[in-house]
């Protein structure tokens, strides 16, 4: 095989390899992250049922108020499940966690006790995720 043929094959292989890498990660999500970057951050909802159990939902942020069905469709049944979801976010993401919302009918949105808030805040700091908690 001629030198031109070898150079052509090597160049073609490099081009294909580069195209394959871009196709597998079109948004350039950092490795170790399983989520896409959210332009409007994430919204964290928490609520407690009469039996004392806490539930959470972490949704992509929007410019509108979420409805009951949207929130409970993404319901996380434990603090550990919430931590797992937060761990899947990329560094630099923003989470807004609001309590006492009367805008969502049939869902008593509130913040859990301060120790739980602090635990989530610490996890976010370790991950490089900004979190704003508003009562």
> What pLDDT, on the 0 to 100 scale, is given for residue 125?
98
Could you tell me the pTM of the whole model? 0.71
pLDDT(18) > 80? no
Query: Tell me: the pLDDT tens digits for 21-38?
Result: 444 443 344 444 455 678
Give the chain's domain count.
1
Domain holding 128, by residue range, is 42-134
pLDDT in tens, 94-135: 999 988 666 677 788 899 999 999 999 999 999 999 999 998
Q: At 17, is the pLDDT very low, low, confident or very high (cuts 50, 70, 90)?
A: low
How is 84-123 classified by DSSP, letter by letter? HHHHTSPTT-EEEEE--B-SSTT--B----HHHHHHHHHH
- Residue 59 resides in a domain: yes
The DSSP symbol for 126 reads: H
Residue 81 has pLDDT above 70, yes or no: yes
Q: What is the pLDDT of residue 117?
A: 98
Q: Is residue 117 part of a domain?
A: yes
Residue 34 lies in a domain: no
Q: Tell me if 100 is assigned to some domain.
A: yes
Please give the biggest Cα pair distance in the chain. Answer: 78
Residue 12 domain-assigned (yes or no): no
28 lies in a domain? no
Mean pLDDT computed over every residue of the chain: 82
- Predicted confidence at residue 10, as pLDDT, reads 60
Q: Is residue 32 part of a domain?
A: no
């Amino acid at each position: 095989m001629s030198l031109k043929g070898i150079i052509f094959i090597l160049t073609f292989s490099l081009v294909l390899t580069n195209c394959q890498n871009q196709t597998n990660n079109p948004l350039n999500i950092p490795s170790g992250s399983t989520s896409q970057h959210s332009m409007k951050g994430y919204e964290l909802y928490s609520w407690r049922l009469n039996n004392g159990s806490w539930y959470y939902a972490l949704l992509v942020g929007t410019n509108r108020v979420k409805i009951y069905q949207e929130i409970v469709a993404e319901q996380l049944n434990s603090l550990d499940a919430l931590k797992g979801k937060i761990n899947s976010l990329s560094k630099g993401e923003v989470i807004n966690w609001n309590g006492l919302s009367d805008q969502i009918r049939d869902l008593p949105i509130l913040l859990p006790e301060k120790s739980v808030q602090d635990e989530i805040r610490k996890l976010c700091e370790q991950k490089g995720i900004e979190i704003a908690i508003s009562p």
